[in-house]
Amino acid sequence: MKLTTAALAALLLVAPAAAQGVSTDASLAPAGTYAVDKSHARLSWSISHFGVSTYTGWFTSFDATISFDPTAPEKSSLKATVDPKSVHTLDPKFDEEIASEKFFDAAKFPEITFVSTKVEKTSDTTGKITGDLTFHGVTKPVTMDVTFHGGMQSPMKNTYVLGFNGTATFKRSEFGVTEYIDFGLGDDITVTIEGEFDHKGS
């Protein structure tokens, strides 16, 4: 996308004002449902490769919604869904292998879900979200460490926006995914979601 000189100048003028409008005071945010802005979000995963490097991949198709209570964030909730066939590693052949019955078995288990069961506030900008992760046909509790980056009335999207990132680590063997564990591919998977969530209404 090419920007004209006038458009670039306008962005440079708006950006400082927008940044000044960001607040980590959660009570200023409107209550209600927030949906992930998939054009400003990323869902990635990483795993140890022979203990000498960290292998990272992504999912290109996912969705997430937050029911947000600004007066009591611990009463908020999160639901996320992922299409395991959308796995992406910059290697198309390996993507197919990961989606196959060797790992995700996406044809048999076409959706990964996370539904929160508990939200714990650990500071004004951090918390823990525990929920039920359903992956590879198995459901188990997983806890995610979450950082709240702030909220603002977006000058671009004409809605209130919240920014978060969350990280969780779990053992893939507990979900029945064991391929290559005895051949250098780690058991622990770390999943990270980063993104903006747009207010959709009460």
pLDDT at res. 14: 46
For 130-175, the pLDDT digits (tens) are: 999 999 999 999 999 999 999 999 999 999 999 999 999 999 999 9
The predicted model scores a pTM of 0.88
Rg (CA), the chain: 19
pLDDT at res. 201: 85
Are the C-beta atoms of 128 and 146 separated by less than 8 Å? yes
DSSP 66: E
Q: What is the largest CA-CA distance in the chain?
A: 58
Instruction: Indicate the pLDDT class of residue 116, thresholds 50, 70 and 90.
Output: very high
Cα distance between the two ends of the chain: 34
Please name the amino acid found at residue 162.
L
Which domain CATH number covers 19? 2.40.128.110
For 46-102, the pLDDT digits (tens) are: 999 999 999 999 999 999 999 999 999 999 999 999 999 999 999 999 999 999 999
Rounded Cα–Cα distance for residues 109 and 86 (Å): 13
Instruction: Indicate the pLDDT class of residue 20, thresholds 50, 70 and 90.
Output: low
Please tell me the total count of domains within the chain: 1
Instruction: Indicate the pLDDT class of residue 3, thresholds 50, 70 and 90.
Output: very low
Residue 13, pLDDT above cutoff 80: no
Instruction: Indicate the pLDDT class of residue 202, thresholds 50, 70 and 90.
Output: confident
Domain containing residue 27: 5-201
